[in-house]
């Protein structure tokens, strides 16, 4: 079987127009800007408009249009859509198929949603690269798009201050002859025994939502922050080291790390554990908060757009999330 190399052809992002600052939150829950910023690094987050036009597939449509332009591709050049989200537009059909229609794709490309929480984009990236490497597909669109504002309890100060809405996408494809872009190595892992650290048990087949749940607010996402913090830093560091070792590279070879943006202290601790200086970590959590599957592609896109990440740079994606899922990827951009 012929093996192909993988190249990031284009990226895009969409941030909802409405910005909610920490100061705004002070009038919603008992909190303050200083506490939020010191404990999390977040100053503000973007929140989707519920009047329409900013639901997860709408954001993905906007972001994908930019990525297609950057990749110099037409919608029908996409062979696969992987849509990572824990907040899809609807339960059925999947968001990837809704996006396929919005993009005007008529080639019947495969469409799949990935529910791997904050690791969803990296899972998608790794799965699509494997399919490109074998020649099974040529171009894949990987989306991380979340409207977490719908699923957080705006009365719970432990969680509502942390999250935001947004979307990031990447189109990856077969690298052309002579290109030195590639995917060196990738890892995907999960430890289901930590599922209860961050869950949303109400609203599925086992426990459909009742009026009581709605009254109590028990249908929203629930998180044990301290437990998540500890496992996140350990796992992010382990997976980063795994992909670097597997690629036969050293820390000195890494130009940029694009970590999941959950908390600046998680990013700083992970950098220390890996042994990377903070000036190699792409950080934008102050502007968006934790947008789950969207954090890595948004941070990646912004760093490409502002000229930090350049062609030929070696870039490490490192994500961790509910499940507990985790994934890392090492690429030459």
Ligand X SMILES: CC(C)(COP(=O)(O)OP(=O)(O)OC[C@H]1O[C@@H](n2cnc3c(N)ncnc32)[C@H](O)[C@@H]1OP(=O)(O)O)[C@@H](O)C(=O)NCCC(=O)NCCS
109 included as an active-site residue: no
Contact 22, 42 (CB under 8 A): yes
Among 228, 244, 254, 330, binds ligand X (CB under 6 A): 228
Residues 6+ apart with CB under 8 A from 122: 188, 296, 317, 318, 319, 327, 328, 329
Which is catalytic among the residues 48, 118, 160, 167? 118
Query: Catalytic pick from 46, 219, 260, 301?
Result: 260
- With respect to ligand X, which residue has the nearer C-beta, 10 or 166? 166
Q: Which lies closer to ligand X via its Cβ, residue 67 or residue 266?
A: 266
What pairing do the DSSP bridges indicate for beta strands 222-223 and 198-199? Answer: antiparallel
Helix, strand or coil for residue 172? strand
User: Which of 22, 62, 290, 301 does the annotation list as catalytic?
Assistant: 290
Is 320 an interacting residue with respect to ligand X (CB under 6 A)?
yes
Beta pairing, strands 256-259 & 198-199: unpaired
Return the residue of 134, 158, 210, 245 that touches ligand X, per CB under 6 A. 158
Query: 124 forms bridges with which residues in the sheet?
Result: none
Which one of 1, 3, 226, 306 is in contact with ligand X (CB under 6 A)?
226
* Residue 161 touches ligand X, criterion: CB under 6 A: yes
Identify whether 290 is a catalytic site residue: yes
Nearer to ligand X by C-beta: 11 or 222?
222
328 contacts 190 by C-beta, under 8 angstroms? no
Contact 164, 148 (CB under 8 A): yes
The question of whether 118 is a catalytic residue gets the answer yes
- Among all residues, whose Cβ is closest to ligand X? 225
Judge contact between 68 and 171, C-beta under 8 A: yes
Distance CA 71, CA 158 (A): 40
- Closer CB to ligand X, residue 105 or residue 187? 187
- Catalytic residues, by residue number, are 118, 260, 290
* Binding site residues, ligand X, CB under 6 A: 31, 35-36, 39-40, 118, 157-158, 161, 198, 223, 225-226, 228-229, 232, 262-263, 290, 320-321
């Amino acid at each position: 079987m012929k093996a192909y190399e993988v190249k990031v052809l284009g990226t895009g992002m969409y941030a909802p127009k409405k910005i909610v600052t920490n100061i705004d939150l002070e009038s919603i829950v008992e909190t303050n800007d200083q506490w939020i910023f010191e404990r999390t690094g977040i100053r503000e987050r973007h929140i989707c408009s519920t009047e329409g036009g900013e639901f997860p597939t709408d954001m993905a449509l906007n972001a994908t249009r930019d990525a297609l332009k950057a990749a110099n591709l037409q919608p029908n050049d996409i062979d696969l859509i992987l849509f990572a989200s824990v907040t899809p537009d609807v339960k059925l059909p999947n968001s990837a198929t809704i996006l396929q229609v919005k993009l005007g794709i008529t080639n019947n490309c495969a469409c799949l949603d990935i529910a791997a929480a904050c690791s969803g984009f990296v899972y998608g990236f790794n799965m699509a690269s494997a399919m490109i490497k074998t020649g099974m597909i040529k171009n894949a669109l990987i989306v991380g798009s979340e409207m977490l504002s719908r699923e957080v309890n705006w009365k719970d100060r432990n969680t509502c201050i942390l999250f935001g809405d947004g979307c990031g996408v990447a189109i990856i494809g077969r690298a052309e002859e002579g290109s030195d872009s590639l995917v060196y190595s990738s890892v995907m892992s999960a430890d289901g025994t930590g599922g209860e650290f961050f869950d949303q048990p109400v609203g599925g087949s086992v426990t459909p939502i009742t009026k009581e749940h709605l009254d109590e607010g028990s249908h929203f996402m629930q998180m044990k922050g301290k437990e998540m913090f500890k496992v996140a830093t350990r796992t992010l560091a382990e997976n980063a080291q795994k992909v670097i070792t597997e690629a036969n590279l050293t820390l000195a070879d890494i130009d940029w790390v694009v970590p999941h943006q959950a908390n600046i202290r998680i990013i700083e601790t992970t950098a220390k554990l890996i042994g990377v200086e903070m000036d190699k970590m792409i950080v934008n959590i102050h502007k968006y908060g934790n947008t789950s599957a969207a954090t890595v592609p948004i941070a990646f896109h912004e760093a490409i757009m502002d000229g930090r990440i350049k062609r030929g740079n070696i870039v490490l994606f490192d994500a961790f999330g509910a499940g507990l899922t985790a994934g890392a990827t090492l690429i030459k951009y």
